[in-house]
A and B are shown apart, each in its own frame.
Chain A
Amino acid sequence: MEKTEKIPLKKILLICSKASIEDVYAALVMGNGAVMEGIETKLFFTFFGLDAITKKTMNKLHTATTGNPGMRMPGGLPFPTMLGGLPGVEAGVSAMMRKQMDALDIPPVDEFLELITAGGGEIYACKLAMDMFKLTKEDLHDEVKAVITVGDLYEMCDGPGTQIVFT
């Protein structure tokens, strides 16, 4: 039988390009989980994902209440799309979601970033998206290590046992 060598995951790069609670937290939970396992971890935020590392927006993320077939009323009833479009509904639902996450000991975004960097994880912002949204490094949370190009990102992907995940 052919002998296959298993290469454990040594390094992971997580790319987050969206600003919804579920997309950002998918990246944060996976990133923090990797740090907890002793895996070298880098998170790269681009496009709307920049909201997650921008001081002004990071702790006020929303989830979409329209165009989201997974959305339910409390109790599990379907959530009418028309209702989701009413003013304030998305903000209210999002606030409720953040509150429920807090109850499960899931930290707010800024604290989550601090937890990741405390364990040696690194946070990066995409230069091109920063230019597009007219953001500067000062707009970003202090835990962001650098604003980098896509070339810089690929340079970080060296070595066996490295994976890139796009959320």
Chain B
Amino acid sequence: MSIKTIAGVDINVNDEGYMEDASQWTKEIAKEIAKEEGVELSDKHFEVIEFVRGKVAAGEGLTIRGIGKSGVVNAKEFYALFPGAPLKKATKISGVPKPTSCI
């Protein structure tokens, strides 16, 4: 665990840069992390982030399939919003732990 200053706030992050305390998350922090990941956040991104944070808060697992069926975005749009590794990027930006799902 280490402390990283994001958007002027000291945040606890793990070795891979994932936030360790989801309650420290703010939209400004999300924008900063997104910039590091090469993503410019739009309103649509924040809708996905809200869904992701809601799922994690409810203790439910995250999968690309689940996000694709969320009604917020379909799988293709999700890949387009967070190019490359969408589930990893979206969770990192959402301030929640890295998902452990294989699908």
B-contacting residues of A (Cβ < 8 Å)?
Answer: 29, 32-33, 36-38, 105-107, 111, 114-115, 118-120
Contacts and interface: CB of A to CB of B under 8 A. Distances in A.
Nearest to A119: B79
Interface residues of B, number: 19
Interface of B: 61, 63-66, 68, 74-76, 78-79, 83-88, 102-103
Contacts of A33: 102-103
B85 A107 contact: no
Interface residues of B, dominant DSSP: helix
Contacts of B85: 36-38
A15 B64 CA distance: 23
Most buried by A among B76, B84, B86, B103: B103
B86 A36 contact: yes
Contacts of A105: 61, 63, 65-66, 103
Contact of B64 (A38, A119, A120): A119
A43 to B, nearest CB: 15
Contacts of B76: 118-119
B75 A38 contact: no
Contact of A38 (B68, B84, B103): B84
A84 B102 CA distance: 31
Contacts of B79: 118-120
